[in-house]
Amino acid sequence: MTRENIQGMIESNRPFTISMADGKQYTVPHRDFIAFTRKGTSVIVSTEDDKVHILALITMKSITQDEPAQQA
């Protein structure tokens, strides 16, 4: 995965899911939940319950755009 791939998903302003090589998945509901590390080789994903995950781009298998949450 490249920084440009992730940046494109962030700029789409839609939720997306990152799938890792180990099978784990991380949902990014909004651009405020993800940031690049200084060197740009990893991302920091924050969850809605305030957990933080540091994910290396090299271990990412895919990114999938999700449907936006329905507004009530």
- What digits encode the pLDDT tens for the residues 5-55? 999 999 999 999 999 999 999 999 999 999 999 999 999 999 989 999 999
**Residues paired with residue 56 on neighbouring β-strands, in sequence order:** 42
Q: Quick one: pLDDT at residue 68?
A: 72
For residues 68 and 57, what is the distance between their CA atoms, to the nearest angstrom? Answer: 24
Q: Quick one: pLDDT at residue 71?
A: 62
pTM beyond 0.85: the answer is yes
Residue 72, pLDDT > 90, answer no
Q: Which residues of 12-51 are buried (b: 16+ CB within 10 A; e: fewer)?
A: eeebbebebeeeeebebbeeebbeeeeeeebbebbeeeee
Closest CA to 41 of 25, 23, 54: 54
Q: Which CATH fold would you assign to the domain 3-65?
A: SH3 type barrels. (2.30.30)
Q: Quick one: pLDDT at residue 5?
A: 94
